[in-house]
Amino acid sequence: MTLAAAFAERIPGVSPGVFGDADFRAIAEIAHASAGIVLPAEKAMLVYSRLSPLVREANCGTFTNYVARIRRDEAEQARAVAALTTNHTFFYRESHHFEHFAAEVRPGLVRRLRAGGSARLWSAGCSSGEEVWSLVLTLLGSDRGEGSRLAAADLRVLASDIAPHALAKAAAAIYPAADLGPVPAVLGAAWTKVAGETAEIAEAARSVVRFRSLNLHGPWPMRRKFDVIFCRNVMIYFDSPTKERLLLRFAEALPQGGYLYLGHSERVTGAAARCLHQVGPTIYRKDEP
């Protein structure tokens, strides 16, 4: 018996006629072609649990019918792929990245902004926003007056994700107060407002961020280069050729001296390694090959 069929039989009220191996393979092929996501056989349970609500909402009855639906309906396909993404993160995750950014990158960006220049940063795969807000708070710093002046300068932070529900939470910028525990106290005091058990990111900090739905596997509408790109724990869902293509695109989106921050289990490989050189744990700077 196939993995997906055996899994389906273990679910009360669900038979292989509702979710079978062919359905799983088709969904895995669609996810890989549209977003570079790799779904090995052991992800059958995840596929079933994430997509079952969409199958019901679409009144498709079976996954076979739903597969036919998403093959012809681009909007529904995007919704299905977004549902298959994992949106687990937290504030100041991999804190050494923010420590490096504060010590090695922020001073130069602050000097440039004070002198009337611009700064562009990108949280690629921002999920529910904890990463981008950690980055913004670190950049603005503990001095609310200076940070407000930086926010009023030519500073923009792009926060992109493929999942609309994650983007909506990120843009709302409201979290359980307990979730902000990892935020350095001086930054939390300067840029968050706590009311009871809820914390909200201050408007001045929110003003610099632009949230956009973006499939990293597809076209990028951005034309300007980014001084800093965070893309952490996103490529773990891609195969090696997809990772290497994405890394090269990131390298092309950075100026000389720009920085790329990856997740703890991710590394720069392929053609991008000729110009992205490691300067810290999963931290890379673009230099001449």
Any domain includes 88: no
Least confident of 41-55, 109-123, 150-164, 268-282: 41-55
- Residue 8 shares a structural domain with residue 143: no
Q: What is the pLDDT of residues 149-178, one digit of tens each?
A: 999 999 999 999 999 999 999 999 999 999
Identify the bridge partners of residue 124 per DSSP, sorted by sequence position: 160
Q: Is the pLDDT of residue 10 over 60?
A: no
Which among 28, 51, 57 has a CA at the least distance from the CA of 40? 28
**Angle made by CA atoms 264, 167, 188, in degrees to the nearest 5:** 70
**CB proximity list for 52: less than 8 A, separation 6 or greater:** none
Task: Give the residue with greater pLDDT, 229 vs 46.
Answer: 229
CATH number at residue 41: 1.10.155.10
pLDDT, position 196: 94
What band does 18 get if pLDDT is binned at 50, 70 and 90? confident
The span from the CA of 289 to the CA of 277, in Å, is: 9
pLDDT, position 13: 52
- Residue 20 shares a structural domain with residue 131: no
Interval 129-142 mean pLDDT: 98
pLDDT, position 88: 73
- Residue 247 shares a structural domain with residue 150: yes
CB 24 within 8 A of CB 4: yes
- Residue 199 shares a structural domain with residue 109: yes
Alpha-helical regions (H) of 115-239: 130-140, 144-152, 164-172, 185-191, 203-206
- Residue 202 shares a structural domain with residue 154: yes
State which residues form the domain around 9: 3-83
Per-residue b/e over 42-57, b at no fewer than 16 CB within 10 Å?
Answer: ebbeebbebbbebbee
**Which active-site residues does the annotation give?**
50, 161
Task: Give the residue with greater pLDDT, 18 vs 172.
Answer: 172
What band does 41 get if pLDDT is binned at 50, 70 and 90? confident
Question: Which one of 29, 62, 83 terminates a domain?
Answer: 83
Q: How many domains does the chain have?
A: 2
- Residue 57 shares a structural domain with residue 14: yes
pLDDT, position 2: 59
**CB proximity list for 224: less than 8 A, separation 6 or greater:** 120
CATH number at residue 175: 3.40.50.150
- Residue 58 shares a structural domain with residue 125: no
The span from the CA of 280 to the CA of 19, in Å, is: 45
CB 268 within 8 A of CB 283: no
Interval 5-20 mean pLDDT: 61
| Mean pLDDT (the chain, rounded) | 92
The H or E element containing residue 256 is: none
Any domain includes 165: yes
pLDDT, position 95: 96
